[in-house]
Structure 1
């Protein structure tokens, strides 16, 4: 089983071709060790994603920007007759799912089997065919990094069903919507659509959630590899335990401001309305809720500006907007450290040290949900080694990951 170097370069970047070639060969061998040799082997891939713009805006029907990255889940697949889907993921027990039964199983909640059954149900509900197959998967999408390993797995399953059973005709947008349905209804997690859409569509994308039933998705064409910058994610090794109340407070407080005006989400009011009534809103909702609402309005508007900057090739303007967004997250959204644990501020340390190395070049910001975990940095190529060494000196070897912006989403590889 061979994969062309041209394909691997497109998916992972020129520097990763030899490594990825060996990775696919090892995955094929693992498949054969488990399921035996097969003449009809197919290879598939679905990427993780990074949030670029619109920090905590989607849950109030706002706009976001995201991008697919070179870390992915790959699958070695052999179609088979019948309705059994067997998937052995590296490091996990085999999942065996009979897709002739598409009922939601309470005992499968929070499991990969639930995602497999849920994606199959989503295809069937949409009028597409489903079929049995055997697969071995392996992932290098970092767990707990905000790069959405679960969305990549869901999109991978959808991509396999599309190509094996439907001639590859199911659109990337539809696969993302089915993946979200599987996660919400079968897995039991009420996630938005950004993660699945970025993984399925690929490249830079913006999503406008004003109409949540029909979000507006736009691809943003930009060759980041030739920009002179590198995208880095730094794991500050923060403790994620007991942070659910911190995350939950953000949409709740934003929506409390909307409720003051008789609306459900901030997308239905304006910043001008808030400023005009700010004295009364502060009394009812509190200052942090108002500050978070201000962040929503400004970051929502920034997404369109970021997309316009990339489309026009204005990388400096784009990075300036990323910096503004990061500053807004820190000052107004306030998701850089947990109020209940003020002694632990790994994200703050990472942001300060990043700015110290970058000296006004590039950009750095909190990544994803915040409070603990990762920061995102756009680092000039001539500073990449210094930046990586500085971060790993503080947070440990392997804590700084250089990511490739991948122009392709979920795809058949061979």
Structure 2
């Protein structure tokens, strides 16, 4: 089964009532409920999560929804509202990491991970709808997983706490999907709160909600989807993670979280040039997250622009996960009035964010679109996002 088409090309997501009606038409019964989980934007803190460091994402007002009904057998039937793909069916007793294709690997991975934990999962019918843009670095896959695990946690009576659901979805990503991701995306989706960013310590999963009300500060958060596809399951992400693990080992640290900015001079003498630059990004990015939290708490969103800029330069030059389209989006945004901009997400494509005065929003949009056209790049999709609530049942 192929991946679901990009929902950003569809005009307006269906309402809960429409999704319920579609479920009944396709599966011949009403769903037991509808659950949703948001995508996320990472404000700052990239590739620090699997290094047991700090991240500062926020849940966004674009979500994946799943309508689910429990079956009386061991069959799982999955369908997406997008495209004419029909119903994909498999059996609970034959889930294998290599067997799932396209978007179906995300709900199936969650089922697999819960089964690993000894939780009995019934057969089920599931209809997916999502308006989280695919491939933009906004964590469309984790939104699906978090919606599914929220549904299954309730339907099975498993009683998992948010921290446990985070780890289960990480296991699904790592062991079933084959993507060596950390816990940031799931934590934002499951634990987000309207008007706040989620300050997450990836070592102990502790969370602090930090006020991030850009609108009240006269700002908007623009997302510039470059339409350059990326995949966390490819070699680029894995090689960066391997470099970080090597750097920590050679420095005698449990994780790069334990290396301070002041220790980088010592690190430079112990590491090869590439590994050092990878380490320097993670160490300085952790520090930038802490500074951002402090500034948001004391001075508000208008004070963090320089930190966003510095984060992008570090990802471009030290971690080398940017691309020409992302660099152009960031440079033109800044030149056209944004107070700070950076690529966001795992890299190698996806989206940039630009924290922009509301009065300059259209100016930035127009300038970026013109610059992409003049460079011969595919037209970007530009939209605003706001901090939203985390995963929940909606019907």
Shorter-chain TM-score: what band? 0.7 to 0.9
Look up the match of 1:96: 89
For residues 131 and 240 of structure 2, the distance between their equivalents in structure 1, rounded to whole angstroms, comes to: 30
Look up the match of 1:151: 142
Answer whether contact 2:230 2:347 (CA < 8 A) is retained.
Answer: no
Question: Please, which of 295, 299, 308 is the counterpart of residue 285 of structure 2?
Answer: 299
Answer whether contact 2:214 2:221 (CA < 8 A) is retained.
Answer: no
Look up the match of 1:273: 263
Answer whether contact 2:35 2:148 (CA < 8 A) is retained.
Answer: no
For residues 67 and 342 of structure 2, the distance between their equivalents in structure 1, rounded to whole angstroms, comes to: 36
Runs of 4+ in 1 over 4 A off after TM superposition: 109-114, 124-129, 239-246
Look up the match of 2:24: 32
Q: What's the offset of the Cα at 1:161?
A: 1.1
Q: What's the offset of the Cα at 1:355?
A: 1.1
Look up the match of 1:219: 209
| TM norm structure 2 | 0.82
SS at match of 1:154: helix
| TM norm structure 1 | 0.79
Question: Are residue 363 (structure 1) and residue 340 (structure 2) matched?
Answer: yes
Answer whether contact 1:108 1:187 (CA < 8 A) is retained.
Answer: no
Q: For residues 86-136 of structure 1, give each alpha carbon's deviation from its aligned partner in whole angstroms, at most 9, with x where no partner exists.
A: 22112344233444x2x6525424555544344234445556564343232
Q: What's the offset of the Cα at 1:146?
A: 0.6
Look up the match of 1:342: none
Query: Which stretch of the first structure deviates more once superposed, 295-304 or 80-89?
Result: 80-89
Question: Please, which of 43, 52, 59 is the counterpart of residue 61 of structure 1?
Answer: 52
For residues 23 and 372 of structure 1, the distance between their equivalents in structure 2, rounded to whole angstroms, comes to: 31
For residues 403 and 84 of structure 1, the distance between their equivalents in structure 2, rounded to whole angstroms, comes to: 37
SS at match of 1:48: strand
Question: Are residue 183 (structure 1) and residue 169 (structure 2) matched?
Answer: no
Question: Please, which of 303, 327, 335 is the counterpart of residue 348 of structure 1?
Answer: 327
Q: What's the offset of the Cα at 1:333?
A: 3.2
> Which structure's CA Rg is the greater one?
1
Structure 2 vs 1, CA of residues 110 and 387 (structure 1 numbering), >3 Å: closer, same or farther? same
For residues 222 and 179 of structure 2, the distance between their equivalents in structure 1, rounded to whole angstroms, comes to: 28
Structure 2 vs 1, CA of residues 34 and 88 (structure 1 numbering), >3 Å: closer, same or farther? same
Answer whether contact 1:48 1:147 (CA < 8 A) is retained.
Answer: yes
Look up the match of 1:412: 393
The runs of 5 or more residues in structure 1 that have no matched partner are 1-17, 338-344
Q: CA RMSD in A?
A: 3.1
Look up the match of 1:44: 35
The runs of 5 or more residues in structure 2 that have no matched partner are 1-10, 373-377
